[in-house]
Amino acid sequence: MKYSVGPGHVTVIAEIGENHLGQMDIARRMIEEATRAGADMVKFQSYHGEDAHEDDPERDWFCKIELSDSDHRQLRAYAVQQGTEFLSSPFSVERARFLCEGLGLRKIKVASSEMVNFSLLDYLNERAEMVFLSTGMATIEEVKEAVAHLGQVKTVVILHCVSQYPTEDDEANLRAISTLMEAFPNYQIGYSDHTIGIDAVLAAVALGATVIEKHFTLAKTLPGTDHIVSATPEELAEMVRRIRRIELLLGSGVKAPVLREQAVRELVRRRWKKAQRSGV
């Protein structure tokens, strides 16, 4: 697996979500394209459409595109075959139970809408080894409360997020990444993006985000509400390339001469020391 969360490697999650339109051939192709573009993980959503509130205008849509248990198993196996990791967001304890006990997943994504679903968090607290926690619509106090419900999880990655599709530039508030770093110094902080384009993602990496989640689509013209904020295969590949370059540019943070500086360091300093002795 390419997947790695840690210093020097920003984990890129391609959020397929509902952009597969409930069609397995599209879902498989999206896994292929996301892997080819360099994504470390591909993320889906796990729910039963009938669980949505009867007044929800998207209830019929959710029922149409939901993934069956068999679909989940096939897609997880296909992701592994392609060389990436399968991830999903459960929208109920029952779906979390299926992911953890049915599929054997130990890494789970919690969507912003479920961040205060403490029954779900408490279930994951006893079973997940890693939780990616999106924090859209939340205050810092609510994030602290959610994190407290995940106290037994080995690794919790807190993702700054704004639950607007698309998120306007003046709503992105990327400095909240630094705020979360200060509030949670022992946790990794990442960014789940809903802006159009990839600039916000690159800025988030420069600010220190260790995990990036970006919606992914095969074409922005497909049916559904998420395609407009999603990266195409070409855009995702470009995003990954730029993230990897930013990682190199950020370096280790140690202030010391780099190797090529050392070759000229003594020469330059001797030159000026000689000038000083000569009184020039």
Instruction: Give the tens place of pLDDT for each residue, 157-181.
Output: 999 999 999 999 999 999 999 999 9
What lies within 8 Å, CB to CB, of 207 at 6+ separation is 174, 175, 177, 178
Structure token digits, residue 233: 């295969």
pLDDT digits (tens, 9 = 90+) for 147-158: 999 999 999 999
| Amino acid 5: pLDDT | 44
Percent of the chain residues topping a pLDDT of 90: 82
CA–CA separation, 31 and 67 (whole Å):
15
- Name the 3-class secondary structure at 193: strand
| Amino acid 3: pLDDT | 38
- Name the 3-class secondary structure at 92: coil
| Amino acid 8: pLDDT | 65
| Amino acid 125: pLDDT | 98
CA proximity to 138, closest of 89, 183, 107: 183
- pLDDT reading at 206 higher than 80: yes
* The residue type at 17: G
Beta-carbon neighbour count of residue 104 at 10 Å?
Answer: 8
| DSSP, res 22 | T
Mean pLDDT, the chain, rounded, equals: 93
- Cα–Cα distances in Å, from 85 out to 32, 42, 78, 214, 243? 12, 6, 9, 15, 19
Report residue 91's pLDDT band, with 50, 70 and 90 as the boundaries.
very high
CA–CA separation, 59 and 66 (whole Å):
11
Average pLDDT over residues 237-258: 95
Average pLDDT over residues 39-57: 92
CA proximity to 3, closest of 98, 78, 80: 80
- pLDDT reading at 6 higher than 80: no
pTM for this model (two decimals): 0.92
DSSP readout, 107-121?
A: EEEE-GGGTT-HHHH
**22 close to 65: Cβ distance less than 8 angstroms:** yes
- pLDDT reading at 58 higher than 90: no
| Amino acid 274: pLDDT | 59
- Cα–Cα distances in Å, from 229 out to 57, 117, 216? 20, 26, 8
| Amino acid 227: pLDDT | 93
CA proximity to 62, closest of 54, 70, 73: 54
Average pLDDT over residues 89-99: 98
| Amino acid 266: pLDDT | 84
Q: Which domains does the chain have, with CATH numbers?
A: 11-254 (3.20.20.70)
- Please tell me which residue, 156 or 56, carries the higher pLDDT value: 156
Least confident residue range of 114-123, 220-229, 234-243: 220-229
